[in-house]
Amino acid sequence: MKKALLNFFDRIEPDKKKAPFLHTLYDGFFTFAFSPNTVTKGGVHIRDGMDLKRTMVHVVLAMQLCYLFGTYNIGHQHYTALGMYTGFFEGFHLKLVYGLVKLLPIFVVAHVVGLGIEFYYAAKKGHPIEEGFLVSGALIPLIMPPDIPLWILAVSVAFAVIIGKEAFGGTGMNILNIALLSRVFIFFAYPTDISGDEVWIAGIEKAQEGIGYIGQEYGAVFGIFDSLFASLGLDQFGAGGQPVVDGYTGATPLSLAFQGGWENVTRVYSESQMLWGTIPGSIGESSKPFIIFGAVFLIIAGIASWRIIFSCVLGGAAMSILLNAWGATPFMEVPWFYQFYMGSFLFAIVFMATDPVTASSTNIGKWIYGFMIGAVGIIIRVMNPAYPEGWMLAILFMNVFAPLIDHYVVEANMKRRAKRAAVRAAA
């Protein structure tokens, strides 16, 4: 069977010189379907089918629970803002479909733009498709607000891939995390679309204007589902408008903490809500147990560095304890362990700080790199009034310093070995 499939792929392989773009597409699908059969030379090497593409696929698999929960939470936050189906499992089918309709266009645009650019450069350079965007393309939707304008998303992805990666030589050559580069582009170029209270709740602006909670751009799609739900005797989306409940703001725990400390947060959200993720925020950042599950999966698979994850936690905890001791503002007084409940701390250190291309590669360097991300991230989160979250900037900042950290670690190792060699020679 395998031989027959190989023969089939051999027959349909396009000519590389006559149709370079088609050959690039073919090569991408071929290497996805079959593991490599090449082996490095030498008696000390072993054969391993875990190539770059399959490594990237493992990371994408680790995010799937975040995708499932994030999809549902989009709908849950939307209906909570309208005062409808406020119980988490109430209106389950409506929330799930609503979230899927919101998330799917973001996912498609990110991949079409990013992979399209990757395919173009691969064909232009005459080399196989580089698989690095598999992870970046999966991460970008999870770190965006659910109502992000798609044209802004497309521009940010193009900027990140072209300027952040291809300009440096492609996959494995970039010095900054591509997904975070896409987000930071939007943050500085279009700040009102990625900050504030309202951006984290899908459809809240239209609902406030009385346009209707379904959303005009997806009315036909929801109409199809209404027909299905009606046949099953389930609640339907309907066609009427529904205003936001009085007093609803959509504030995230971080913005509440900055305004009035931990007591202000717990007036709106319980600890359980923050832990499980039934709160506003970026699509994939909220559910802490599912993020931890992804971390365990990546560590067991040998893909993510446990040193970076653990040192990030140590750095964040150490800086939080110091700020607790200082206590100059209500945010500084938030108990250090509750800093892990809020925002994107866990998501950032598991799926972005551990990026093997942009992180430190030496073991000691990983401890330093991770600790500094945790410490710097907490400083930005707590002490910067314009930006009550810090992991995007902290990780990008340490991406720049990762090569320098590794350089000094290697230099120190060489000096220690030279001293040992000198002592042995003298003896």
Task: Give 101-148 as a 3 state SS string.
Answer: HHHHHHHHHHHHHHHHHHHHHHHHHCCCCCCCHHHHHHHHHHCCCCCC
Whether 231 and 362 share a structural domain:
no
Whether 219 and 77 share a structural domain:
yes
Examine residue 45 and state whether it is found in any structural domain, yes or no.
Answer: no
Range with lowest mean pLDDT among 4-13, 131-140, 229-238, 284-293? 4-13
Per-residue pLDDT averaged across 45-49, rounded?
49
Per-residue pLDDT averaged across 200-228, rounded?
72
Task: Please name the amino acid found at residue 269.
Answer: Y
Q: Is the pLDDT of residue 31 over 70?
A: no
Whether 300 and 413 share a structural domain:
yes
d(CA 344, CA 338): 13
pLDDT in tens, 372-408: 999 999 999 999 877 778 899 999 999 999 999 999 9
Contact assessment for residue 244 and residue 81, using Cβ atoms and an 8 Å cutoff: yes
Q: Is the pLDDT of residue 206 over 70?
A: no
Q: Is the pLDDT of residue 305 over 90?
A: yes
DSSP collapsed to 3 states, 260-280:
HHHHHHHCCCCHHHHHHCCCC
Examine residue 102 and state whether it is found in any structural domain, yes or no.
Answer: yes
Higher pLDDT, 203 or 183: 183
- pLDDT in the model for residue 240: 65
Residue 272: count of CB within 10 angstroms of its CB: 9
Per-residue pLDDT averaged across 336-363, rounded?
94
Last residue of a domain, one of 250, 267, 297: 250
Q: How confident is the model at residue 25 (pLDDT cuts 50, 70, 90)?
A: low
Residue 330: count of CB within 10 angstroms of its CB: 15
Last residue of a domain, one of 195, 229, 250: 250
Q: How confident is the model at residue 45 (pLDDT cuts 50, 70, 90)?
A: very low
Range with lowest mean pLDDT among 30-44, 120-134, 298-312, 346-360? 30-44
Higher pLDDT, 125 or 226: 226
- pLDDT in the model for residue 53: 67
Domain encompassing residue 371: 287-427
pLDDT in tens, 168-201: 888 788 999 999 999 999 999 999 888 888 889 9
Q: Cα–Cα distances in Å, from 154 out to 35, 49, 113, 225, 332?
A: 32, 34, 6, 28, 37
Whether 245 and 118 share a structural domain:
yes
Examine residue 20 and state whether it is found in any structural domain, yes or no.
Answer: yes
Whether 88 and 220 share a structural domain:
yes
Examine residue 75 and state whether it is found in any structural domain, yes or no.
Answer: yes
pLDDT in tens, 140-164: 999 999 999 999 999 999 999 999 9
Return the H-helix or E-strand segment holding 335: none
- pLDDT in the model for residue 23: 58
Q: How confident is the model at residue 110 (pLDDT cuts 50, 70, 90)?
A: very high
Whether 62 and 178 share a structural domain:
yes
Whether 294 and 214 share a structural domain:
no
Per-residue pLDDT averaged across 278-302, rounded?
94
- pLDDT in the model for residue 267: 93
Q: Is the pLDDT of residue 27 over 80?
A: no
Q: What is the mean pLDDT of the chain?
A: 86
Whether 103 and 156 share a structural domain:
yes
Whether 309 and 226 share a structural domain:
no
Whether 372 and 238 share a structural domain:
no
Higher pLDDT, 32 or 277: 277
pTM: 0.87
171 burial class (0-12, 13-18, 19+ CB within 10 angstroms)? buried
Last residue of a domain, one of 250, 273, 302: 250
Whether 188 and 308 share a structural domain:
no
Which residue is associated with the tokens 């710097």? 376
Half-sphere exposure of 168 (CA within 13 A, CB side): 16
Total domains in the chain come to 2
Q: How confident is the model at residue 46 (pLDDT cuts 50, 70, 90)?
A: very low
Examine residue 202 and state whether it is found in any structural domain, yes or no.
Answer: yes
Whether 127 and 210 share a structural domain:
yes
Q: Is the pLDDT of residue 13 over 90?
A: no
